[in-house]
Structure formats: structure tokens, C-alpha cells
Chains A and B, each alone.
Chain A
């Protein structure tokens, strides 16, 4: 399983990334939408965890692009909070789940675990 983390909070993504590595989970991280999409073009990811509010390419655009580039990739929206319309919109655009920060890494993995295997 390979995961891509996109969040403008560098400390957050790097820490989650490090913790995933400690658990031997293959992952990459990016601190902007542009960076994330560049990584996505080069590699295949099973899951993308993306923040909603970022400078430059925001969460919605990122979700749309991910679905366009790699339709099979699952997306988790990880956000401090957004209005319900935003959450609904994210789901409509193709996000599979949303989680509100802060999230325990176990919870994150639990979300990915059952559906983690490719259909």
C-alpha cells in the first residue's frame, strides 16, 4: 500500500509520514497541491490524504485532478473543519471519506485497512 500525504502544514505531513514509515507503510508527502500532483504524475498511490484549504491548488481541485489522473486511487479528506456543503462537495467530487483533525494514526489506518486492498 502506498500513500500520498498533501497538506500545507509541513510539520504535520512530515510527522505523519515518519510514523507511517515506522510502521513500514510506503508513503510520500507534499506541502502544496502542485507538489502533490507532480508526485502523483510520477507514481501510483493507493490512497491520497489531502487537506482542503491550501494556498495555490486547493483540496477540491486536487481531488478533481487525482480522479482524473488516477481514477482508482482512494481519497481521504483531512481537514480542520469545513462547512457541510464543502464536505458534501468533496464527496461528490470523488473523495471517499473525510476526517476531522486531529486524527490518531490508528484511526487513519483503520479507515484505509478494510478497503485498502485493491478491488
Chain B
């Protein structure tokens, strides 16, 4: 979540707030996703095409491998069949060329055996078996002379079919070999069988010489899938090869299988006709296609990295964009607010001036009339209720004074005298203002403390107006505190070359709902005592001087007004508004 809090733009939590000109979160989402879509669509398309081509290539490669297996199966099958046929033919020839009697001669049979071994190779022994199934003559390393084969299956089969080729078995010396037996039938001769044992070594050589991929395998199995020649992947002779099926071998099928290590295999099966053998060619497409896989993985990594980079860049870009819009809106809203406020003050000012003017004329007449009455009373002779009349006149005069005070203040608020700038020592100015109020403060036991550092620069401003502004705020502070309260005035320098005057009281404070309205004309909480113009006038003055006012208040604890003022006119302190038009 801390990642998100870092990534989260400033406006995120404001979205959907009442009165926002835009839903920024929605704007960000739209901007972000459309930019992501625009940048990702070509990438995804490209990746798709790439993968399609990969797939094509893959399939093509696989077909190649399949074809290779098929070719190998076909050629090798022919070679194996030829190998077997060659030996069968040799034995057949021996039969044809010799009579039973001739073969029965040990020397002759031995000579034939030697010739066979030398010319074909692989012959381990040779025997002649008579009609009764007894091995009449035996040439070979074992002592098998006189052995009775009559009850053995192969003997019966060779009797039946004329030829028999055995599966591979381990002989006495524990090396693999197989048997070829051929039945002899000649007119006027008793039937007999010529039986030869063949070393599988020659078969192995033949299989090894094939054109096979380094990761491939080629071997023979019998009808039940038992290995007849050693396999690189599935073990030695007579172990079981698990993926064999005689029906598939009959069809020369190529099937998918899973190798001992879990790697996918392509297995080609083919029956070697006229023998118990089946040829098996195994290939590992994965090792051949590995480079394609590596390439594919690289492409995937590249795409993922690109997607991540695009998302990141787009996110940064769109948050930045929306943030700028957001900030511009904020600024505009603040300015609109300011302008609205200024306009409000200005129009109220015009209204006030008009009202004051209309009131001042009749008030002036009342004033003069009552003045005349007083004059006449004072200058005329004694008459019964003279004192009482004088008192009435005085009350009327006081009331007129009150009315004219109000209208004069209204006019003061509306009046926009040109700013007369002069060099001002802030400390002197504040002390002057405090002299006005000193008596009231003293009388009520209010402590007014002034803290002003020696290095506060002199300012260029309108002295009278600045005094008026401070006086209004201090008047309010005096009204807010109880007898014996405290008012502190702190002056400090601002970074931008301005001065801040903070006036704090420990009075009753201003409720939050009133804080917004305090600078508006005629807003007063002092009842009859206030005109509601003091702070408006102050606000207008400070604005005209190029500064601004902040107010902080907590009800029950007190209020702080801070005036931010530029030291030189024209160097506005942050959001200082310009003076408004004429009133």
C-alpha cells in the first residue's frame, strides 16, 4: 500500500466532491486507459503476429521432425529386413547346394559355417536338426550335439512355415542373440532343419549407423515391446519399452509420448515384415525446438517489460497532466472567489455611498435645526423648561452624531482614496495606533504586548490606511477579550520580502460558520455597537496595499488575524489581489 500512497496523485481523494468542476479521478482513468490502449494495441498485435509465426514455425519444425522419423523408419526397416533376409537366403542356399548326407558330415558343415561367418558375419553357431527333432550335427561354442528340440515351439513353427526367426534372448554366455531356422525339403530326402544363431551385434551396428539426431534413439522391440537391441533412453536389451503398441506399429504410426525425464517424445513405430521385430525411432522435438522456445520466452519477457514501462510512463504522464489541470482549476477557483468577493465589496460600497448620500442631506438639516434650537435656547432669555429643552436638543445632537458616524464609516468603506505611499516604521505606527486604544485597555486591565524584532525593515505604504486597518483589528480584539484579557501583536519577516503582523487575542473566538463571513460588509456580532464595516474596510485596505489577511480562530480560546504585507508596493505577498475599480 505504501507504493500506492507514493503513486497516488494529489487529487485522487477529491474526485466526485461536490462542486468540483471536473471528476479528476475519472479524467485520469480515461486519459490513462486511452493512452495505454493506444500504446498497447500495436504491441499486442505485434506480439500476436509474432506468436502466430512462432506457432507456424513450430509446426513446420515438428513436421520436419516427423518426416525425418518417417524416412528413418522406412530406410532402416528395409535394411533390417534385408539383413534378416540375407541370412535366411544364405541358409536356403546352403540347403539347396547340399544334400542331407553332405550336411550331416561334420567337416563339411563346419566348412560351411566358417564360410558363412566370414562372408556375412554374426553367425555364432550352426546346427542340423533331423526329422525327429534331434540336433544331428552342431558347430559352435556350446555342447548342443544330440539335443532334442522336438517339443519346442520354434521347432513346430519351422515345421509349419518353413522359416523361423526368434526373438532376441540371452544365451549361455549372456550376450544377446537370435535364431534363424530354415526347413529343408527335397524330393527323395528326409526333411530336416538348418538352424543358425546370429549375434545381435551386427544389428546394433546397423542401427547405430543410421542418420539419427544426437538426442534421438533407434532400436528394435518384439511384439510385446521388449527391447531387442539396447536403447539410449529406455535401457538395455530385454527391458520393457513402455510406449509400444503392435497395432500402431502395423500402421507405421508416429505417436506422442513422454520420456523417462518427462520430456515430450515423438515415437515412430514400424513392423519389420517377416520377423518378430518392430523398429522404433524416438526423437525429442523439445531439444530441437529449444532455441525457438528460448526466443519465445525472450519475446514474452520483452513484451512484459514494455507493457510495464508503458504503463509506468503513461501513468506518470497522465497523472502529471490531470494534476496540472487540477492545479489550474484550483487556482482559477481561488481567483474567481477573490474576484467575486472583490466585486461584492465594490457593489456594496457603491450602494453604501448612495445610501449615505441620501441620508446625509436630511441628517444635515436635522443637525442644523437642532443646532439652531440650541443656539436660540442658549442665547435667548430664561424660560420655564429651558434646561429640559437643552437636554432634548443634546440627545438629538448625539443621535445625529451616531447616524453621521455610521454614514461616514460607510463612506470611508466605499471611498477609494489613492494610496499615498510613504516610508513607515512599523513599530512607531503600531505604537501610534495603540495610543488611541491605550486608555480603554488600561481602564479594562487588558494587557497589550508588542513583540517586534529590531531588524524589521521600513515599509513603503499608506500610513493612514495601514493605521485604519490595524485599528479596526485591534478594536475587534478589544471587543472580543474579557476585562483583564491579553492581546499580543507579533511582527515577523516573510521569506518573499514581506512582513507579517499577527494580532492574537485570548477572547471568545469566532465560530467556524462565521469565519467565512467576517470580511463581508455589515456582518457584525457586536449587536448595536458594531457597524459590520470594520473588517471589510481592513480587508479592502490590505488588498489595496498588495497584501492579504489570514484569520485563525478557535471558539473559547481566541483569534489570530495575520496581515501579510509587502515591504514595497507592487511586490504582492502571494495571493494579494489588486485594488478594485472606483466605487
Taking a contact as CB atoms under 8 Å apart, the answer to whether A16 and B368 are in contact is yes
Report the minimum CB–CB distance from B264 to chain A (whole Å).
98
| Interface size grouping (class) on chain B | 20 to 34
Most buried by B among A15, A103, A105: A15
Taking a contact as CB atoms under 8 Å apart, the answer to whether A83 and B368 are in contact is no
Q: Roughly how many angstroms separate A18 CA and B356 CA in the complex, as a whole number? A: 26
Interface residues of B in 353-376 (CB under 8 A from A): 353, 356-361, 363-369, 371-372, 375-376
Taking a contact as CB atoms under 8 Å apart, the answer to whether A84 and B364 are in contact is no
Q: Roughly how many angstroms separate A61 CA and B551 CA in the complex, as a whole number? A: 48
Interface residues of A in 62-119 (CB under 8 A from B): 79-85, 100-105
Q: Roughly how many angstroms separate A103 CA and B411 CA in the complex, as a whole number? A: 15
* Per-position binary interface string of chain B over residues 394-424, scored 1 when its CB falls under 8 Å from any chain A CB and 0 otherwise: 0000001000100110010011111000000
Q: Which residues of A contact B224 (CB under 8 A)?
A: none
CB-CB under 8 A for A100 and B360, given A22-B379, A81-B411? yes
Taking a contact as CB atoms under 8 Å apart, the answer to whether A81 and B360 are in contact is yes
Q: Which residues of A contact B347 (CB under 8 A)?
A: none
Most buried by A among B356, B364, B415: B364
Task: Among A11, A81, A82, point to the contact of B365 (Cβ < 8 A).
Answer: A11
Taking a contact as CB atoms under 8 Å apart, the answer to whether A12 and B411 are in contact is no
Q: Which residues of A contact B400 (CB under 8 A)?
A: 102
Q: Does B582 contact A (CB under 8 A)?
A: yes
CB-CB under 8 A for A103 and B356, given A19-B375, A83-B582? no
Q: Does A26 contact B (CB under 8 A)?
A: no
Q: Which residues of A contact B360 (CB under 8 A)?
A: 80-81, 100-102
Q: Which residues of A contact B582 (CB under 8 A)?
A: 83-85
Which chain A residue has the least Cβ–Cβ distance from B416? A84
Q: Does B490 contact A (CB under 8 A)?
A: no
Q: Does A9 contact B (CB under 8 A)?
A: yes
Taking a contact as CB atoms under 8 Å apart, the answer to whether A15 and B368 are in contact is yes
Q: Does B9 contact A (CB under 8 A)?
A: no
Report the minimum CB–CB distance from B123 to chain A (whole Å).
137
Q: Roughly how many angstroms separate A75 CA and B262 CA in the complex, as a whole number? A: 118
Q: Roughly how many angstroms separate A59 CA and B414 CA in the complex, as a whole number? A: 22
Q: Roughly how many angstroms separate A105 CA and B373 CA in the complex, as a whole number? A: 13
Task: Among B357, B365, B408, B417, point to the contact of A15 (Cβ < 8 A).
Answer: B365
Taking a contact as CB atoms under 8 Å apart, the answer to whether B364 and A102 are in contact is yes
Q: Which residues of A contact B371 (CB under 8 A)?
A: 15, 19, 104-105
Most buried by B among A12, A18, A80, A81: A81
Which chain B residue has the least Cβ–Cβ distance from A83? B582
Which chain A residue has the least Cβ–Cβ distance from B414? A81
Taking a contact as CB atoms under 8 Å apart, the answer to whether A12 and B375 are in contact is no
Which chain A residue has the least Cβ–Cβ distance from B412? A100
Q: Does B583 contact A (CB under 8 A)?
A: yes
* Per-position binary interface string of chain A over residues 43-72, scored 1 when its CB falls under 8 Å from any chain B CB and 0 otherwise: 000000000000000000000000000000
Q: Roughly how many angstroms separate A67 CA and B383 CA in the complex, as a whole number? A: 47
Q: Which residues of A contact B364 (CB under 8 A)?
A: 9, 12, 80, 101-103
Q: Which residues of B contact A9 (CB under 8 A)?
A: 361, 364-365
Task: Among A19, A80, A84, A105, point to the contact of B358 (Cβ < 8 A).
Answer: A80
Taking a contact as CB atoms under 8 Å apart, the answer to whether B372 and A19 are in contact is yes
Q: Which residues of A contact B411 (CB under 8 A)?
A: 81, 100
Q: Roughly how many angstroms separate A104 CA and B367 CA in the complex, as a whole number? A: 7
Taking a contact as CB atoms under 8 Å apart, the answer to whether A80 and B372 are in contact is no
Taking a contact as CB atoms under 8 Å apart, the answer to whether A81 and B363 are in contact is no
Q: Roughly how many angstroms separate A117 CA and B407 CA in the complex, as a whole number? A: 33
Q: Which residues of B contact A101 (CB under 8 A)?
A: 360-361, 363-364, 367, 404
Taking a contact as CB atoms under 8 Å apart, the answer to whether A19 and B368 are in contact is yes
Report the minimum CB–CB distance from B579 to chain A (whole Å).
12
Q: Roughly how many angstroms separate A15 CA and B583 CA in the complex, as a whole number? A: 32
Taking a contact as CB atoms under 8 Å apart, the answer to whether A102 and B356 are in contact is no
Q: Roughly how many angstroms separate A15 CA and B359 CA in the complex, as a whole number? A: 18
Taking a contact as CB atoms under 8 Å apart, the answer to whether A81 and B353 are in contact is yes
Report the minimum CB–CB distance from B33 to chain A (whole Å).
58
Q: Roughly how many angstroms separate A15 CA and B417 CA in the complex, as a whole number? A: 32
Task: Among B372, B375, B376, B404, point to the contact of A102 (Cβ < 8 A).
Answer: B404
Report the minimum CB–CB distance from A53 to chain B (whole Å).
8
Report the minimum CB–CB distance from B34 to chain A (whole Å).
56
Supply 13 further A-B pairs (C-beta < 8 A) apart from A12-B364, A80-B357, A80-B361.
Answer: A9-B364, A11-B369, A12-B361, A15-B369, A18-B372, A22-B372, A81-B353, A81-B357, A81-B360, A81-B407, A82-B357, A101-B363, A105-B371
Q: Which 4 pairs between the two chains have the least Cβ-Cβ distance?
A: A80-B360, A101-B364, A102-B367, A15-B368
| Sampled A-B contacts (26; CB under 8 Å) | A9-B365, A12-B361, A12-B365, A15-B368, A15-B369, A15-B372, A19-B368, A19-B371, A22-B379, A79-B357, A80-B357, A80-B360, A80-B361, A81-B357, A81-B360, A81-B411, A82-B357, A83-B582, A84-B418, A100-B360, A100-B408, A101-B363, A101-B404, A102-B360, A102-B404, A104-B371
